[in-house]
Chains A and B, each alone.
Chain A
Amino acid sequence: MRRTVVLAVTTVATVLSALLVAPQAAQAHGYISSPPSRQALCAQRAVSFDCGQIQWEPQSVEGPKGLRNCHANIGHFAVLNDDSRPWPATSVGQTVNFNWVLTARHATSLWEYYIGGSRIAVFDDGGRQPGATVQHTVNMGGRSGRQKLLAVWNVADTANAFYVCVDLQIGGGGGNPNPNPTPTRTNNPTTPPPTTAPPPAGGTWRAGTAYQVGSQVTYGGATYRCLQPHTAIAGWEPPNVPALWQRV
């Protein structure tokens, strides 16, 4: 408490966050975006089953340090640790570049990568703030076939870590990453694969459609003309985005 008061008069950032903490218990955040981790696949709805809550917050798999599972013991993220689900695996070679999405750059001790019970790579940030983008190149150590990799981001100044599992199909002795076809999107209500925009003659506005300048759509009984090329998404309904659509 005393510390909070001191900090509050010290920095604006702390004051702002103190006010913010009250309305929401913000936790912080990061996950592996490529090769796609289980939570990244859930966020894209690129899996054949319902992931539940994790699809809305793939960055939130945070738990105490020292765990060795995919869901940080968080009950409503348990699907991440369920190996019986048909998780698509990404084909890779012996050397794999792992890219992280971070929403905050927490001081970091170790980034760890495990396959089976073995730690196959470790990167020591020594308590420094990581860069805005983080990429690690990890050697698969001669392993082959389907493997579940667990990556752990250990935050230096809290007791917590972030946990991420990535399903890999490791190829033969090649030294280079071996890009895989995109996992099949099977269940994607908000952004189905883009389809060709209808000619300006009309049609009902639909998320997932790629619209060109001049495309016309109907929405809520009104007609709109597209001002800016884009693929339609939820939240960008024509009356809500005057920068994209002009009412005719």
Chain B
Amino acid sequence: MNRFRRTLIVATLVLLGGCAPGPAGTGVPVAAPAPPPPGATPTGAAPAATAPSGEFNDTDVMFLQMMVTSHGQGLALVRLAPERAEREELKILAAAIDVTQESEQRTMRDWLTGWGRTTSADPDANVHAEHGGLPVLGPAQLTALSKSSGTAFETDFLNLLIGHQHSAVELARMETKSGVHPEVRELARRIDVSRTAQIDQMLGMLPKAG
């Protein structure tokens, strides 16, 4: 039954072109990159050089794909701050998150491309979907937020970004627990500690009495 279920899952992933696991879908580490998706640069060309060497497993791939997608949502959020926030400390933090996450996203895409994997996950995928949770950040939320300003914007912005970074920490801990690739695990460790510190800072920026 378990095997049947796994086969179905893998088949579904292949059909939908989503977050593809390793060839067997078994979680066994694989050393060689899978064939690149159609339209990707042929194996042996430049991108392969950017992939970190060494064995990687399904969790490494899944983590990178979901984090690339998560970063996209986070970047859309922090880019609202320069126009709409008032406090300088909040704008400074948002701008620093913008440049660091953009840089991380570039690195993660390069690694995935080098491994011949798609460079993002389905945007609706999130760690809470299994029990009915929707991701907190979507186009509707961003649109609503982009219509507010001042203190109301700052309070909503901080609560959204804190929640978003909590989710990033959860993904990172999945990788440090089950991923095998040293560089990916190290990236996850840094994401865990840096987002935890950002959450600490942002909680301190919230108005105390709501």
Contacts and interface: CB of A to CB of B under 8 A. Distances in A.
Contacts of B174: 20, 23-24, 26
A196 interface: no
> A interface, by DSSP: helix, strand, loop or mixed?
loop
B43 interface: no
Interface stretch (B7-15, B32-40, B45-53): B7-15
Interface in A26-47: 26, 28-30, 33-36, 40, 43-46
User: Chain A, interface size: which category?
Assistant: 35 or more
A243 B136 contact: no
A133 B192 CA distance: 23
B3 to A, nearest CB: 12
Contacts of A107: 132
A5 B8 contact: yes
A60 to B, nearest CB: 9
B72 interface: no
Nearest to A168: B209
A235 B155 contact: no
Interface stretch (A91-99, A146-154, A215-223): A91-99
B182 interface: no
Interface stretch (A6-14, A113-121, A198-206): A6-14
Contacts of B206: 33-34, 36, 99
Contacts of A129: 134
A241 B207 CA distance: 30
Contacts of A98: 210
B198 to A, nearest CB: 7
A15 interface: yes
User: Chain B, interface size: which category?
Assistant: 35 or more
B103 A243 contact: yes
Contact of B100 (A59, A102, A244): A244
B5 A4 contact: yes
Contacts of B209: 34-35, 90-93, 96-97, 177-180
Given A9-B8, A24-B178, A103 B166 contact: yes
A97 B201 contact: no
Interface of B: 1, 4-5, 8-9, 12-13, 16, 18-19, 21, 27, 58-59, 62, 66, 89, 92-93, 95-96, 99-100, 102-103, 121-122, 124-138, 141, 144, 155-156, 158-160, 162-164, 166-167, 170, 173-174, 177-178, 189-201, 203-204, 206-210
7 contacts: A5-B5, A12-B124, A46-B204, A104-B136, A180-B209, A235-B190, A244-B96
